[in-house]
Amino acid sequence: MTGDPFLRLVEVTRRFGDRAAVDRVSLDVAEGEVVALLGASGCGKTTLLRLIAGLETPDEGEVWVARRRVAAEGRNLVAPFARSVGFVFQDLALWPHLTVAGNLDFVLGAARLRKRDRGARISETLRLVRAEAFAHKYPGQLSGGEQQRAAIARALVARPRLLLLDEPMSSLDAELKADLLRELSALLQMLNVTTIHVTHDRSETVGFARRVVLMRAGSVVQTGTAESLRPLLRGETC
Amino acid sequence: MTTATHNAASLRRVLTWPSARAATLCLAAALFVVFCVLPIIYMFGISLSDANGSLSTGNYRRLLTEPRQRELLLTSTLLGTGAALLATALGAPFGLLLARAPLPAKRLLRVTLAVPLVVPPYVLALAWILLTGPAGILARVLGHDLLSEWTYSLTGAVVVLGLGFYPLSMLATEAAARRVDGRLEEAALVAARPRRVLRRITLPLIAPTVAAAALVIVVFALSEFGVPGLLRVRVFTTEVFTAFAALYDFGAGVALATPLLAVALMAGVAVKLMTGERLLATRRAAHPGLQLSLRHPWRVPVLLALAFVAFTSIIVPLAALAVEAGGVGRIASAVRASGAAIANSLWLAAVGATLVVALAVVLGYGRARARTRFRGLVDLAFIIIFAVPSTVVGIGIIGLWNRPGLPGDVYTSSAIIVVAYLARFVPVAALILAAGVRQVPASFEEAAEVAGAGWPRTFTRIVLPNMRASVAAAWVVAFIFAFGELGATILVAPPGESTLPFRVYTLIANTPPSEVAALALVQVGILLAPLSLLGLFARGDAGRGGER
C-alpha cells in the first residue's frame, strides 16, 4: 500500500460487558480497495463494521475514515452521517413507509442535494443497479433480489467514499448471489468506492474482494487473498 | 402397530385435539355472543323499530332532523376530539421520551405518569370540582369564586378527560417506538442528522399507532358518562342516562345511543385499518435505534414539562381529595358508612375480572392461533364492542335480561353487575391475552401434540404457564376497569345493590363533600394497588427484554 491508507483502524477494541467483541483490531485499507471481512457468526465482523460507521463507539483505539480521525479515546469524534459512508445492512433495513425512490430521496435530502437535482441522481443510481423498474414500489412489494438492488442503490446514491456491506446477500440463493456480486463488483470498480464486505461465506470473496481479512473471536488472525487463505478457511469456526 | 391399533390412536388424536379445541372455542364464542354481542345487536335492533315494535327508521330520522340532536352531536364531537388532541399532545411526546431518552428513574416515572389511567375519570372530575367549584378549596382560600364557570364547561370536561387519558397515548406511543426496528433508524443515521431521522423515519413509522390511540381516546371520551355528568355538559351519554333513568323513555334512550354505536363502529374499523396485526404485536425491536439525547438546553424544560403534567394530572386532584376528605378519622368513618358498597365492589370486581379472564383467555387463544383471513374481523368485533359506551351496554343488558325465567333471576341479583363487566371488558382482555398467546411459539403445542398430550392438557400445562404474565396483566386490567365501572352499573344494579363508584356518584348531590372525597380517595387507593402490580410485571418484562 502506498501513501496514507483511506481507512485505518488502530488497536480498536469494543467490549460488551466482559466480552471483547472486537479485540485490538488494526487494519489499513487503501482508497478504492475492496476488502472482505471473513469469519464465522459472532466473531465481531458486524461490530467492526458498525464501529467504522459510527453506530458503535470503540472502548479503545482509533478509527480513521477518509484520512480523518473519526473515533478515538473512547468516543466518536464524527457523527455517522458526516463520515461519507454507505451501509447495506444484513436485513437491508429498507424503510417500509417510503418507496424505493423515496428511500433514495431521503438520503439525498439529508445530503442537502437540491430537490431539482435529486430526481436525476436517483434515476442514474437506479439505472446503475438495474432497479429503475421498481422505483415507485414499496419495499414490501419487491422480491428478495429487488430489495437487494434497492438497498445497494440507497447506499450508493449519495456517492459515499466508503461502502460497508454487512452480509447483504446471505438470504439469496447461490445463483442470484453470484449474479449480484458480479454486477456489484463492476459497479464498485467504476465508482472507485472503498468497500468493506462482511461475510461468512468464502465463495462471496472470490473474484469480489482483492484482499480477505480473516477474523476469529474478535481479532484479525490473517490477511491475504481468498486463494492464499484457502487452507486456513477449511473447518473455520469462530 | 396393527391397523386396528393405529386407527384407535388416530381416532383418539382426532377426539383429543381438534374436537376438544373446537368444542372449547365454540363454547367460548357462544358465551361471547351471549354476554358481549347480543346486548349490542339488541340495541341495534331496537334502534330500527318504533314504539310498537314495528320496523322503522324513525330514530335515525330524528337524529338527523332534530336541532337538539345536532347540538348534542356538536358538543360530543368537540368533547371527543378536544380530549383526544390534548391527550395526544401530552402523551405522544412523553411516550417517545420514555422509549428513547435517558430519563432518570424511568420505571417509576412510567408508572407515575400512568396513574390517571387507573383513576376513574369521574373521580378526577370530582377532584377538580372540589378544588375549583363555587364552594371549592380555591374559592374558600381566595374568598371568591374564580374558576367554577370554567370547571362546569365543555373546556373543563376536555381538560379533565385529556389529563385522564393522556397515559393511553403515552403507553401506545412508547410501545410503538420500541417496536420500530433499530436497523431502519441506523440506516438513516448513516445518512442524516438525528433530528431528520426522527422526523422522516421514526415518526412516520409510529404515526399509525399514535393516530389509532387518539381515535381510541375519542371513543373513550365520547363514551364517558361520569365526567360530563358531573361537569354538567350535555352529551349523548348523559342524555341516554337521563332519558332512560329519569324519564323512563326507552325509545328516546335508544335513539340517543344510536350515534354512539355508529361512532364505535367507525372508530373500530379505523383503528383496525391503522394498526393491522400490530394490534397484537408486543415484541420489542432487537436493536435499539435512534436515542434522543437530553442535553442542554433541552433537559430542564423536558423534565419540567413531565413534572408539570404529573403535578396537574395526579398530585393536584389527589391533594384536593385529601384536603377535602380531612383527617384519617374522617376517611375511616366514611369507609365504615360505605363498607357494604366497598366490599361489594371488591368482590364483584374480583369475580368479574376472574370470569372475564377465563372467557377471554380462550377467545384470545382462538384469535392468536386463527389462520383464517377473517381473523381481522374478530379484532374488529373486539374493538367495536369495547368502544360501545357503557350506558348503551347497560340499556342493552336491561332489554335482554329483564324478562321472566333464568334471565330475570340473574337480572334481579348482583350477578347482573358481573354480566355488565363481562359485556364491557371481555374484548379488551381477549386482545391482551391474544398478544400473550402470540408469544408462545406454536411449536410448543406441536411438540406436546406429537408427545401424545390432548389439547386440554396442552393448553393448561404448556400454553397457560408460558403466558402467566399476560394472564395476570389481563386480570389486573379487568379488575381496574370493573372496580371503576359506573355507566353500565348505575343502570343495571338491582335495588339495594351498590358498588363504590355507584355510591360515590349518588352521594355527590346530597352528602357533605368530605365524605364523597374520602370515598373517592379510598377508591383511588384500592386502584393504585393493582397498578403497582402492573408495574412489577412491566419490570419483569423489562428485565428480560432489557430496559432502554
Please provide the DSSP assignment of A127-176 as one string: HHTT-GGGTTS-GGGS-HHHHHHHHHHHHHTT--SEEEEESTTTTS-HHH
Mean pLDDT of A227-238: 60
Q: Does B397 touch chain A (CB under 8 A)?
A: no
Residue B13 above 70 pLDDT? no
Q: Which of A89, A92, A98, A161 to mutate to test the interface with B (most CBs of B within 10 A)?
A: A89
Q: At A4, give phi and psi (nearest 5°).
A: -70, 140
Which of the four pLDDT bands, split at 50, 70 and 90, describes residue B8? low
Instruction: Return all residues near B374 (Cβ < 8 A) that are at least 6 apart.
Output: none
Q: Which residue of B has its CA nearest to A109?
A: B192
- Top-confidence residue, B348 or B69: B348
Mean pLDDT of B477-498: 88
B290 neighbourhood in chain A, CB within 8 Å:
none
Q: Tell me if residue B229 falls in helix, strand or coil.
A: helix
**Of the partner residues B187, B192, B200, the one whose CB lies closest to the CB of residue A93:** B187
| Average pLDDT over chain B, rounded to an integer | 84
Maximum Cα–Cα distance across chain A: 53
A100 touches A127 (CB < 8 A): no
Label the pairing between strands A162-166 and A85-88: parallel
A81/B205 touch (CB, cutoff 8 Å), yes or no: no
Q: Does B199 touch chain A (CB under 8 A)?
A: no
Q: Is residue A143 part of a domain?
A: yes
Q: What is the pLDDT of residues B141-160, one digit of tens each?
A: 888 887 888 889 999 999 99
Interface of B with A in 155-184 (CB under 8 A): 181, 183-184
Q: Does A138 touch chain B (CB under 8 A)?
A: no
The C-alpha atoms of residue B27 and residue B37 are separated, in whole angstroms, by 14
A49 neighbourhood in chain B, CB within 8 Å:
none
A121 neighbourhood in chain B, CB within 8 Å:
none
Instruction: Return all residues near B437 (Cβ < 8 A) that are at least 6 apart.
Output: B364, B365, B367, B368, B369, B463, B467, B470
Q: What percent of chain B lies above the pLDDT cut of 90?
A: 30
B189/A89 touch (CB, cutoff 8 Å), yes or no: no
Mean pLDDT of B284-306: 78
Q: Is residue A154 part of a domain?
A: yes
B481 touches B426 (CB < 8 A): no
Which of the four pLDDT bands, split at 50, 70 and 90, describes residue B546? very low
Q: Which of A32-46, B69-83, B302-316, B382-396 has the lowest mean pLDDT?
A: B382-396
- Top-confidence residue, A119 or B52: A119
Q: Does A154 touch chain B (CB under 8 A)?
A: yes
Q: How far is CA A238 from the centre of its chain?
A: 21
**Of the partner residues B183, B193, B204, the one whose CB lies closest to the CB of residue A93:** B183
Instruction: Return all residues near B121 (Cβ < 8 A) that are at least 6 apart.
Output: B160, B161, B164, B165, B224, B226, B227
A91 neighbourhood in chain B, CB within 8 Å:
181, 183
Q: Is residue A107 part of a domain?
A: yes
Residue B297 above 80 pLDDT? no
B474 touches B434 (CB < 8 A): no
Min Cα separation B291/chain A (Å) = 11
Label the pairing between strands A68-72 and A60-65: antiparallel
Q: Does A89 touch chain B (CB under 8 A)?
A: yes
The pLDDT of residue B10 is 53
The pLDDT of residue B94 is 93
Q: Does A78 touch chain B (CB under 8 A)?
A: no
Q: Tell me if residue B141 falls in helix, strand or coil.
A: helix
Q: Which of A10-19, A214-223, B523-532 has the lowest mean pLDDT?
A: B523-532
The C-alpha atoms of residue B463 and residue A141 are separated, in whole angstroms, by 35
| Average pLDDT over chain A, rounded to an integer | 88
The pLDDT of residue B270 is 81
Q: Is residue A125 part of a domain?
A: yes
The pLDDT of residue B258 is 74
Cell numbers of B129, please? 370540582
Q: Is residue A190 part of a domain?
A: no
Strand partners, A8: A28, A64
Min Cα separation A118/chain B (Å) = 15
Task: Identify which of A191-200, A203-212, B435-444 has the greatest average pLDDT.
Answer: A191-200
The pLDDT of residue B1 is 47
Q: What is the pLDDT of residues B179-236, one digit of tens each?
A: 888 889 999 998 899 889 999 999 998 888 898 889 889 888 988 888 998 999 999 8
Residue A17 zone, left/alpha/beta (φ > 0; ψ -120 to 50; rest): left
Total number of domains constituting chain A: 1
B183 neighbourhood in chain A, CB within 8 Å:
89, 91, 93
Residue A147 above 70 pLDDT? yes
Q: What is the pLDDT of residues B370-386, one digit of tens each?
A: 776 677 788 888 878 88
Domain that holds residue A142: 95-159
Q: Is residue A123 part of a domain?
A: yes
With cell 386463527, the residue in question is: B370
Q: What is the pLDDT of residues B225-266, one digit of tens each?
A: 889 989 999 998 888 888 777 777 666 677 777 777 777 778
Q: Look up residue B351 and give its amino acid.
A: V
Helical H runs in B299-374? 299-310, 316-325, 328-337, 339-369
B184 neighbourhood in chain A, CB within 8 Å:
93, 95-96
Q: Which of A64-73, B243-252, B514-523 has the lowest mean pLDDT?
A: B243-252
Q: Which residue of A has its CA nearest to B205?
A: A97
Q: How far is CA B127 from CA A155, B145, B146, B150, B319, in A?
A: 57, 16, 16, 14, 8
Instruction: Return all residues near A176 (Cβ < 8 A) that are at least 6 apart.
Output: A144, A145
Mean pLDDT of B421-433: 92
Which CATH superfamily does the domain covering B20-40+60-282+308-540 fall into? MetI-like (1.10.3720.10)
Give B16-28 as a 3 state SS string. HHHHHHHHHHHHH
Q: Is residue A206 part of a domain?
A: no
Q: Which residue of A has its CA nearest to B290?
A: A55
Q: Does B188 touch chain A (CB under 8 A)?
A: yes
Q: Which H helix or E strand runs over B164?
A: helix B154-179
Show the beta-strand stretches assigned E in chain A: 7-16, 19-29, 34-38, 60-65, 68-72, 75-76, 85-88, 162-166, 194-199, 211-216, 219-224
**Of the partner residues A87, A95, A109, the one whose CB lies closest to the CB of residue B190:** A87
Mean pLDDT of A165-186: 83
The C-alpha atoms of residue B188 and residue B526 are separated, in whole angstroms, by 47
Q: What is the pLDDT of residues B90-126, one digit of tens each?
A: 999 999 999 988 888 888 888 889 889 888 898 999 9
Q: At B129, give phi and psi (nearest 5°).
A: -65, -45
B191/A158 touch (CB, cutoff 8 Å), yes or no: yes
The pLDDT of residue B547 is 42
With vertex at residue B254, the alpha carbon angle to CA B75 and CA B483, rounded to the nearest 5 degrees, is 75
10 Å Cβ neighbour count for A173?
Answer: 10
Q: Is residue A104 part of a domain?
A: yes
Which of the four pLDDT bands, split at 50, 70 and 90, describes residue B281? low
Q: What percent of chain A lies above the pLDDT cut of 90?
A: 55
Q: How far is CA A21 from CA A17, A47, A201, A235, B67, in A?
A: 10, 7, 20, 21, 72
Residue B541 above 50 pLDDT? no
B196 neighbourhood in chain A, CB within 8 Å:
109-110
Q: How far is CA B41 from CA B44, B45, B232, B258, in A?
A: 5, 6, 30, 12
The pLDDT of residue B544 is 39
Min Cα separation B102/chain A (Å) = 17
